[in-house]
Structure 1
Amino acid sequence: MSAIATHPDRSPVLADLIPGAAARDVLLTLAGTAFIAVAGFIVIPLPFTPVPLSLATFAVLLTGATLGPLRGTASAGLYLALGAIGVPLFAGGSFGWAFSSFGYIVGYVAAAALVGTLARRRSDRNAWSTIGLATLGSLTIYACGVPWLAGFLGVDLATALTLGVLPFLIGDALKILAMSALLPTTWRIIDRAGRR
């Protein structure tokens, strides 16, 4: 285990259980970016909103929780930077910054940092705290995405909420429930195997 994993004030995240140090961190960061990009290509366009429904938000939250705040934030930040400079990584192969849902992608970076920090504090170990962790991560993405959407479209906050939040609440609830099952179950398996 790395020094991060054994520091008395910080609990390990799942990625800390992988041996290695710098090379591991680089590879995990790149893998996190790739995971977010691939999940972002799984898109369901909704005709009543310019914001696509994708699995990227789930990937961001899972990446932040499993990689921790530094690697998770770096993964989301690299995804943002590459897409902003022209690599077609965003939903539907889009890129750049001048589109209605770019604020959500900015929110990915903040959400990965928050979720990673909460996971570092063991909030990914049981279902209820994982629900809280994932809910706060989702709210962080909305907090960045909705104002950008409102400004980009020139609409008021109520309209932006109708276009950029309401259509996604059921999907977000399913993603949060999936995380609340996946992360604590993984930790239980690791505990039983004696890896910690």
Structure 2
Amino acid sequence: MTTQSLPREGRARTTAPTTDIALIAAFAALISACAYIGAIPVGAAGVPITLQTFAVMLTGCLLGPVRGFLSVALYLGLGAIGLPVFAEHSGGLGSFTGASAGYLWSFPIAALVGGFLVKYVARQRRTRALLVFLCSAAASVLVIHPMGIAGMKLYFDITWHEAMTYDLPFWLGDFVKTTLVALIAAEVHRAFPRLLERG
């Protein structure tokens, strides 16, 4: 029996996992590409500013908590095996213990939290950019920045206050990136209202 001979519901069940896998892989590739854009070291820590966080939060807000988490985890897995998918064309396990390690570890959790908030808190109002902005910003403030600060504190063996000053240069850029995430995600959810059904 071919897929075409199946009832419509049967075809949907058959193609849904394939679509999920394709979306997870595509957004992992998007995060990888965005890691190369910018890559400008800033602040005393020298951690580069890239569009990684933009892509990570867009992934979570569009794909939802499960697929968003899996997509970012796939991206980190590719970097862990040595592919140069991280900022400044780096890769390997050493990236997970460096100055920016806290940020890397935070990415899948942030995508999960952002996706959860968009799917279960914003719900049908996810077509409103302001609500998506608040969901994405919450994930960034509650997950990415705290874990990034903790990572720099451990790596440089400095005080919490010093680590927070290292993190400060990223806030303005994150505001701009979160705004872009909100505008894009709201429009995509307006065009594809069922996108998060399997997220």
Task: Identify the TM-score tier after normalising by the shorter chain.
Answer: 0.7 to 0.9
Deviations 1:88-131 (A, max 9, x none): 21101112223110110110010011111122222632122112
Q: Over alpha carbons, which structure has the higher Rg?
A: 2
Query: Would you say the 8 A contact 1:108–1:141 is kept in 2?
Result: yes
Verify: 1:35 aligned to 2:30, yes or no: yes
Question: TM-score scaled to structure 1, two decimals?
Answer: 0.81
Aligned-residue offset at 1:67: 1.0
Tell me the residue number matched to 1:73: 69
Please list, as runs of the form range in 1=range in 2, the aligned pairs for 1:33-182 lying within 5 A after superposition: 33-42=28-37, 43-46=39-42, 48-95=44-91, 96=93, 97-121=96-120, 122=123, 124-139=126-141, 140-164=143-167, 166-182=168-184
Aligned-residue offset at 1:136: 1.2
Q: Secondary structure at the match of 1:59?
A: helix
Flag structure 1 segments of 5+ consecutive residues without an equivalent. 1-18, 192-196
Deviations 1:35-77 (A, max 9, x none): 1111011112226332110000000000011111111100111
Root mean square deviation, CA, Å: 2.0
Question: TM-score scaled to structure 2, two decimals?
Answer: 0.80
Bigger fraction of residues in helix: 2
Identity of aligned residues (%): 34
Distance in 2 of aligned mates of 1:153 and 1:35: 30
Verify: 1:25 aligned to 2:24, yes or no: no
Cα distance change of structure 1 residues 36 and 20 upon mapping to structure 2, 3 Å threshold? same
Distance in 2 of aligned mates of 1:169 and 1:155: 20
Query: Would you say the 8 A contact 2:61–2:114 is kept in 1?
Result: yes
Flag structure 2 segments of 5+ consecutive residues without an equivalent. 1-13, 194-199
Q: Could you tell which deviates more after superposition, 79-88 or 179-188?
A: 179-188
Distance in 1 of aligned mates of 2:58 and 2:43: 28
Distance in 1 of aligned mates of 2:30 and 2:41: 20
Structure of greater relative contact order (alpha carbons < 8 Å, 6+ residues apart): 2
- The aligned length equals 173
Q: Which amino acid aligns with 2:162?
A: T
